[in-house]
Structure 1
């Protein structure tokens, strides 16, 4: 039987290469059992004419499918669905009287309850996305990353990528982190003090699992990073929020009996305030006196716009109490999902064992690609390009904030890729966000950042990592106009 050309279609406006669409369509039809072993496909000429594409597009798609054994090619006969395709197993129909398994009885739901629901997945569809943590593709060096990925897939290195590293990390990437990244924060660390993670979120989870027993107390900043709180809530730790001031976390306000203190000293999340050196020293002295560990999330340390950044807490920690978390999500791109922990070798050994139980290690190909990205200088070039672009966007946004009469909640903040703003008296930032969404503007309401969500009603965050300088003034005008409507 010959499969008719009418069984195929392509979406020329989908943004996906036509050859890829055709391959996926054939694979999906084979997997679903619609195309069966031995059935003949239309000729490349007939199918190309039906789809309105070049014949070479169809020929290349067929060639790829032959190489992956979905199709076979027979001389002077054409292409056929491969006989080696496994027979599709048909599921037995479910009897109407079959009782459903009671999952509610097996699941607590504590992870789902702790998960965030305040983020817009389709943010890129909005004209003015002032959302934090997303990348601007225009600032990412695609050609450089592609070259590094191809190097990692080269014959000389491919053997090392196909094996299971068990609980080990790519030695080249660890070496570059130790020699290139950490010294910029004043940190000196050996190989046994560094562990790769699947980003900062995974690092926070590992730290929580290793450090905090169920019921143990920990202090966190208030407001703070919502993703950190959802991990702590799911771990059943006792969370003690400590209100921050214009200099970040006040060490004197840390309650007694805590096992750990979580802080974003360099760029407090979300206010962007910076903890001064004197306060950092006080925090470390208190950690030594009270016996708690300090978990330092040093996100976005590259983005400082008022001179050199302060040294990391880990850099001035002489007792070894600090667990340092770094990530490449902001400086490379979020999808890279690679970060690292730096801590005492004993802590790293325990965290490595836990990571090994859960996921062995981050993907070897991604590790080696990033190692090349660092060693060939692409990381520095991209970081510099992002810093220049963000400095310009920051300047434009500050001017727009002043022009539109908006109010900064942390006017002294000098780093990061966002601003923390206060709404006028009586205006709920969640209501503001809802109205702005209808006007193609995305902002982040303040409630998710606070231990008591109601305390965040008067605040919101505006980020500029994913919006161009040209779009910022109009987006800010829409925010100001909407605020004026809400305040009459």
Structure 2
């Protein structure tokens, strides 16, 4: 029997290469049992003519399928479905009787419902004016050099980093370059024993909260704040106290008595973008030393300081080891990387390493080694410089557009960053505003999720320029201004 050439087709909308599309079409058919062992495949010439592709594309696909034992080559006779080709196991599906199933309202001991979060449509790239935060702009990412570093990390000399279970350890090459190239930019001096790699900043903050907090401890956090942190802290069942930030960030004198842990984004407050001045940082550290509490510093986006040099990290001023420093590569490289780090005193890192080992062992070795090469070969610094030049231009264009439309910027960051924190006129609900703007192809981030829920704050919103081209910013801001004016008229 022969496989009919008409039974093979390509999914040209898949985003894969033609060779990959063909390999997938044939392997899927074999796994599903549509092509059976011993059947002869169409010749490379006939299949290439049928699909409208080059004959070499079919030949390369067949060769790869032979290597993976989907096909076998028989001299001049051609290609056949391999007798030992992989097959999906076949089981009779079990019939589940929902009436006999568990009562999940009783079975679930700890609720994990989704928190109030900033809404971003999954297809946000299809919108013409996406003023959304924290996403990668493909035009700014150094894909070529990243690919070369990833390929290098797949080489024979690095096979151990790819395949080894590190248990509780980290890739020493990446740790070395964080010590040599990342932390000195923040004024931090550390030893390898004081660093732990994490699956992004979110995982780092969760780790800190799990180790430091319990139902009988008190934590203070900024208000407004990063919504993901609030959810992490609420799940510890600690006594959580929100502290309102001002034009200089978190005020140390406003912290409650008896606090055990303080969480802060001192260098670039999330989401207001204000920077805590040096005097206030020292006052916070002095109070921590005097009262015995620990500070968790989320140092996100410090690389985006293109208007002025960044202030020294809290950790760099720490003389008593009370600061736990959290960093991430999500903003400087891309958010899907999910790689961050904690810098802290050795006793804390030992506990954090043990907790990480219980939950996920370690971040993937190939990712660690790829980032290590990206840092060591100088690509990271080039990437940051490229992003900062582009962000500086976009920021200037957006700031001018906002001024022309007379929209209110709450805080103008002195360092840079990638967004503006905005305030709508009195009585405007920015969640409703965001819904109406989506019809205009404009995406903004309502501020409700950043504030304590009981506060009911709905006037603020965030506008980011990391994911929108410079040419589209003025029109997007004009549409936003029209929608705001319409909302005011409707309210009056």
TM-score w.r.t. length of structure 1:
0.95
The alpha-carbon distance between structure 1 residues 109 and 131, as it changes in their structure 2 partners (threshold 3 A), is farther
Distance 2:96 2:356 in 1: 43
Q: What SS is found at the alignment partner of 1:92? A: coil
The alpha-carbon distance between structure 1 residues 235 and 44, as it changes in their structure 2 partners (threshold 3 A), is farther
Distance 1:402 1:365 in 2: 46
* Deviation (angstroms), 1:96: 7.6
Report if aligned partners of 1:114, 1:231 keep a CA contact under 8 Å in 2.
Answer: no
Aligned to 1:3: 3
Q: What SS is found at the alignment partner of 2:302? A: coil
* Deviation (angstroms), 1:419: 0.4
Report if aligned partners of 1:447, 1:453 keep a CA contact under 8 Å in 2.
Answer: no
* Deviation (angstroms), 1:312: 0.5
Aligned to 2:327: 326
Q: Does 1:74 align with 2:52?
A: no
The alpha-carbon distance between structure 1 residues 305 and 97, as it changes in their structure 2 partners (threshold 3 A), is closer
Q: What SS is found at the alignment partner of 2:486? A: helix
The alpha-carbon distance between structure 1 residues 407 and 178, as it changes in their structure 2 partners (threshold 3 A), is same
The alpha-carbon distance between structure 1 residues 96 and 194, as it changes in their structure 2 partners (threshold 3 A), is closer
The alpha-carbon distance between structure 1 residues 213 and 64, as it changes in their structure 2 partners (threshold 3 A), is same
Aligned to 2:353: 352
Q: CA offsets, 1:13-38, max 9 Å, x none?
A: 44331221222222323333333333
Aligned to 1:340: 341
The alpha-carbon distance between structure 1 residues 36 and 209, as it changes in their structure 2 partners (threshold 3 A), is farther
Q: CA offsets, 1:421-462, max 9 Å, x none?
A: 001111110011001111111110001101126533100001
Report if aligned partners of 2:447, 2:459 keep a CA contact under 8 Å in 1.
Answer: yes
Report if aligned partners of 1:445, 1:456 keep a CA contact under 8 Å in 2.
Answer: no
Deviates more, 1:80-89 or 1:437-446: 80-89
The alpha-carbon distance between structure 1 residues 111 and 413, as it changes in their structure 2 partners (threshold 3 A), is farther
The alpha-carbon distance between structure 1 residues 449 and 313, as it changes in their structure 2 partners (threshold 3 A), is same
Distance 2:235 2:31 in 1: 38
Aligned to 1:61: 61
Aligned to 2:88: 88
Aligned to 1:264: 265
Distance 1:96 1:164 in 2: 38
Aligned to 2:304: 303
* Deviation (angstroms), 1:365: 1.0
The alpha-carbon distance between structure 1 residues 102 and 35, as it changes in their structure 2 partners (threshold 3 A), is farther
Aligned to 2:228: 227
- Number of matched residues? 488
* Deviation (angstroms), 1:163: 1.4
Q: CA offsets, 1:85-136, max 9 Å, x none?
A: 3553322244586755326142246223337472322211111111110011
Distance 1:21 1:131 in 2: 33
* Deviation (angstroms), 1:176: 0.8
Deviates more, 1:204-213 or 1:41-50: 41-50
Deviates more, 1:251-260 or 1:157-166: 157-166
Report if aligned partners of 2:195, 2:342 keep a CA contact under 8 Å in 1.
Answer: yes
Q: What SS is found at the alignment partner of 2:456? A: helix
Report if aligned partners of 1:135, 1:466 keep a CA contact under 8 Å in 2.
Answer: yes
The correspondence of residues 230-309 of structure 1 with structure 2, limited to 5 A, is 230-309=231-310
Report if aligned partners of 1:116, 1:230 keep a CA contact under 8 Å in 2.
Answer: no
Q: What SS is found at the alignment partner of 1:462? A: strand
The correspondence of residues 88-107 of structure 1 with structure 2, limited to 5 A, is 88-95=88-95, 99=99, 101-102=101-102, 104=104, 105-107=106-108
Aligned to 1:193: 194
* Deviation (angstroms), 1:394: 0.6
Q: What SS is found at the alignment partner of 2:359? A: helix
Deviates more, 1:98-107 or 1:148-157: 98-107
Aligned to 2:142: 141
Distance 1:280 1:98 in 2: 57
* Deviation (angstroms), 1:376: 0.8
* Deviation (angstroms), 1:215: 4.5
Distance 1:435 1:297 in 2: 33
Q: What SS is found at the alignment partner of 2:73? A: strand
Distance 1:12 1:90 in 2: 29
Aligned to 1:119: 120
Q: What SS is found at the alignment partner of 2:411? A: coil
The alpha-carbon distance between structure 1 residues 154 and 51, as it changes in their structure 2 partners (threshold 3 A), is same
Q: What SS is found at the alignment partner of 1:137? A: coil
The alpha-carbon distance between structure 1 residues 106 and 336, as it changes in their structure 2 partners (threshold 3 A), is same
Aligned to 1:169: 170
The alpha-carbon distance between structure 1 residues 93 and 55, as it changes in their structure 2 partners (threshold 3 A), is same
Report if aligned partners of 2:307, 2:392 keep a CA contact under 8 Å in 1.
Answer: no
Aligned to 1:36: 36
Deviates more, 1:465-474 or 1:153-162: 153-162
The alpha-carbon distance between structure 1 residues 119 and 110, as it changes in their structure 2 partners (threshold 3 A), is farther
Distance 1:230 1:433 in 2: 23
The correspondence of residues 382-401 of structure 1 with structure 2, limited to 5 A, is 382-401=383-402
Distance 1:459 1:45 in 2: 63
The alpha-carbon distance between structure 1 residues 399 and 98, as it changes in their structure 2 partners (threshold 3 A), is closer
Report if aligned partners of 1:271, 1:413 keep a CA contact under 8 Å in 2.
Answer: no
* Deviation (angstroms), 1:390: 0.5
Report if aligned partners of 2:308, 2:416 keep a CA contact under 8 Å in 1.
Answer: no
The alpha-carbon distance between structure 1 residues 37 and 117, as it changes in their structure 2 partners (threshold 3 A), is farther
Report if aligned partners of 1:428, 1:457 keep a CA contact under 8 Å in 2.
Answer: yes
The alpha-carbon distance between structure 1 residues 2 and 326, as it changes in their structure 2 partners (threshold 3 A), is same
